[in-house]
Structure 1
Amino acid sequence: MFGQSQAFSGFSVDDLGKARQFYGETLGLEVAEEGQGDMRMLTIKLGSGAKVFVYPKETHTPASFTILNFPVDDIETAVGDLERRGVTLERYSEFDHDAKGIVRVGNGGPAAIAWFTDPAGNVLSVLQEN
C-alpha cells in the first residue's frame, strides 16, 4: 500500500534558528525554512534526496535514540571535521570508545560509529560501513 509513497520523517527542536544554523552551516546540509508564525518549519534535504522536516515545539524533549545516521567513507576524517566545526561527540558508558569517541563495531553492523547531538539534544551519528 505504501511501497511507492514518498515517505518522510520529522522531528522537533526547541529553537528553529539554532537548528537552521546547525544543520545548514555546521553540517553543510541544504536547509529551507517554510511557513509562517507558529507554522514555521525547516526542510532538510539529505544527500540521498530524501527530506526531513524539523518543527519547533515548546515542550520539546530530545530524542534519546539516533534520529539521523550519516554514512561516511572515512569516519576519522568525518569526526575530525565535526570537531573542527565545534561539535562534541557523545560517549555512552555501554560502548568502548577510542580516543576520538569512535566505537568500532563490526559483527554485521557498521564498522564504526560516533554519536553527537544537535542544539536541541537530538542524537545523530556518523558511521562507516564494513
Structure 2
Amino acid sequence: MKNNRQPVSFIVTDDPDAAQAFFVDVMALELREASPFALVFVDCGHVLRVQIVSELEPADYTVHGWEVVDIARTIEELISKGVQFQRFDQLPQDALGVWTTPDGNKIAWFTDPSGNRLSLTQYMTT
C-alpha cells in the first residue's frame, strides 16, 4: 500500500489567545481554523493542531520541532520577537543556546506561551 497520508501534529494550550498570537505572529504559521476545541495551523503544508484544554501540565521533553537551514539566523529572528531559548546544565550550548550533537547536528529549545517545549534543528546535511 502506498503511503498517501499527511501527518498532523498535536500539542495543547490552556490559553488559546496567547497560543494563536504566538503561532501566527512569532512562528508565522497560517491559522486554518479556530474553534472552542482547537486551533489548527498550517505550517509548510503540515498541520499543527493545538488542542484547547482547561488545565495543562507541560511535558518536560520536546513536543514539536522544526528543521531549519540556518539555526543561528532563525534563533536571532525569534529572539527579536521575544522568544527566549532554554539552557540545560547537562548540555554544552553555545551563546545562542545551541547544542551540537556528536554527529554535528545543531539543536536549540524554547517554549510556547503554554510551556510546551519546542525545538529547532539544523541537520549536517541541510
Tell me the equivalent position of 1:116.
Answer: 110
Corresponding position: 1:41 with 2:35:
no
SS in 1 for 2:94: coil
- Residues 45-102 of structure 1: CA distance to partner in whole angstroms, max 9, x if unpaired? 112x120111211121112211211111111101111111100000111110111111
**TM-score, normalised by the number of residues in structure 2:** 0.88
- Aligned AA (1:42): L
Q: Using the alignment, how far apart are the partners of 1:91 and 1:32 within structure 2?
A: 33
Corresponding position: 1:28 with 2:28:
yes
User: Aligned Cα RMSD in Å?
Assistant: 1.8
Corresponding position: 1:61 with 2:75:
no
Percent of paired sites with the same residue: 31
**TM-score, normalised by the number of residues in structure 1:** 0.86
Q: Using the alignment, how far apart are the partners of 2:19 and 2:12 within structure 1?
A: 10
Structure 1 residue 6: deviation in Å?
A: 3.5
Residues 1:2 and 1:44: Cα distance change in structure 2 (over 3 Å): farther
Tell me the equivalent position of 2:97.
Answer: 101
Tell me the equivalent position of 1:126.
Answer: 120
Aligned residues: 124
- Residues 25-48 of structure 1: CA distance to partner in whole angstroms, max 9, x if unpaired? 01111123333xxx331111112x
Unaligned runs of 5+ in 1: none
Q: Using the alignment, how far apart are the partners of 2:101 and 2:75 within structure 1?
A: 16
- Structure 1 segment 10-25 matched on structure 2, within 5 A: 10-25=10-25
